[in-house]
A and B are shown apart, each in its own frame.
Chain A
């Protein structure tokens, strides 16, 4: 049998319930740096199958640039699967929007997943809703769900997916459609998308590319 560790929170709760007095938790002696080696990752989240309605869904292809994805082996390894997703989305008539940062032109996007002439590209830092027309572009087309893929996982993907959920969109994130320089950053992204805020937890569905149907 596993015992729940007695934390300061438990003591304070019991003290408050029994005596009505407020128990002040003692200050932390050790910082996170001291405790670094003892930190354990929480369990992985469950991936769920998703059926996409192409009429009300947009695929957001974030920052898949030569100068970014091009230097990231995990990102390049995902390109064949990403191309399949793109083809499926195009075939079904879903809305497709690309992003970059700075002023990079569409020609900087990795060739395998390059945009078609009618597919728009927006520019912003991590949160692609910030200082762009993204929200208006989605609302004008009656979009209710967004599929968020790209790089970096812990940059563009995390902040754009989080913001989309906060703005009321259903957010679909295939875990094999995001990438970063290392697995640690990707793991946190996946964890955070299922824990960050109640709105994000409710709004985000984690899936896998081969679990998505159009």
Chain B
């Protein structure tokens, strides 16, 4: 076969192959970018402002969520252990003002925890309420009744995990009609990422954001 003919054949074959692959690409439906594709480009929105709060001890309860060993230990959740001193200060102030203080824990593989399992730094006193529930502490407990019977209108929510029990219980409190106060230094998650989302959610998501005040413990007065 003459050189010129062979060249012509080769070029035609290449062009045909290119056309076929172009058509294949064009007929394959374009897949939209999903959140996993866009992962690296996601930016956190700006932080919300913390506000000073004056608490009415007669109508406010302090909810201390899940500060027991399972979720609050140095290996798994050091930020929780680091928050205990500030939470203790808040509990002392709440008790000093005669406020209702409520504790919670969640069932673990080793069974149902009791009030005695709460970490000694922040332990409940005799007679303080204790409930066991999963994330939203109103589900399957008498928490709502306990609060309403005492005329509580506002709850202060602290504890761990921020993005678990704190978020779910703060959200449920708002939906049940309570005002919610969350001091950001009273809640903790193993990662800053999860704490940051919790703060953003409480400050931005409808219903919960309209009833929640974000503050920090030394900006609270009793």
Q: Answer yes or no: are A and B bound together in one complex.
A: yes
Residues of A at the B interface (CB closer than 8 Å) are: 7-9, 12-13, 23-28, 31-33, 35-36, 38-45, 47, 77-78, 81, 125-127, 130, 154-155, 159, 162, 166, 175-176, 178, 182-188, 190-192, 195-197, 206, 208, 210
Interface centre among B74, B75, B205 (most CB of A within 10 A): B74
Q: Which 3 A-B pairs have CB atoms at the shortest separation, nearest pair first?
A: A9-B78, A176-B34, A44-B39
A183 contacts B32, C-beta separation under 8 Å: no
Task: Using known A-B contacts A13-B75, A184-B200, determine if residue A33 contacts B32 with beta carbons closer than 8 Å.
Answer: no
Within the complex, the shortest CB–CB distance from B217 to chain A, in Å, comes to 10
Complex: how many Å from CA A33 to CA B51? 12
- Per-residue contact bits, chain B 126-145, to A (CB 8 Å; 1 contact, 0 not): 00000000111001000000
A-B contacts, 8 listed (Cβ < 8 Å): A8-B82, A9-B78, A31-B216, A32-B47, A125-B207, A183-B41, A197-B164, A208-B36
Considering the complex, which residues of chain B in the window 45-93 have a beta carbon less than 8 Å from any beta carbon of chain A? Answer: 45-48, 50, 74-75, 78-79, 81-83, 85-86
Q: Is B4 in contact with chain A by the CB < 8 A criterion?
A: no
Which residue of A has the minimal Cβ distance to B168? Answer: A159
A8 contacts B192, C-beta separation under 8 Å: no
A176 contacts B184, C-beta separation under 8 Å: no
Within the complex, the shortest CB–CB distance from A69 to chain B, in Å, comes to 15
Interface residues on B, range: 35 or more
Within the complex, the shortest CB–CB distance from B46 to chain A, in Å, comes to 8
A191 contacts B34, C-beta separation under 8 Å: no
Within the complex, the shortest CB–CB distance from A130 to chain B, in Å, comes to 8
Contacts of A155 in B (CB 8 A): 205
A25 contacts B82, C-beta separation under 8 Å: yes
Task: Using known A-B contacts A25-B74, A42-B191, A184-B44, determine if residue A31 contacts B35 with beta carbons closer than 8 Å.
Answer: no
Task: Using known A-B contacts A12-B74, A44-B39, A81-B32, determine if residue A184 contacts B45 with beta carbons closer than 8 Å.
Answer: yes
B81 contacts A25, C-beta separation under 8 Å: yes
B184 contacts A187, C-beta separation under 8 Å: no
Task: Using known A-B contacts A28-B83, A31-B216, determine if residue A187 contacts B163 with beta carbons closer than 8 Å.
Answer: no
Complex: how many Å from CA A188 to CA B167? 13
Q: Is B31 in contact with chain A by the CB < 8 A criterion?
A: yes
Contacts of A188 in B (CB 8 A): 197, 201
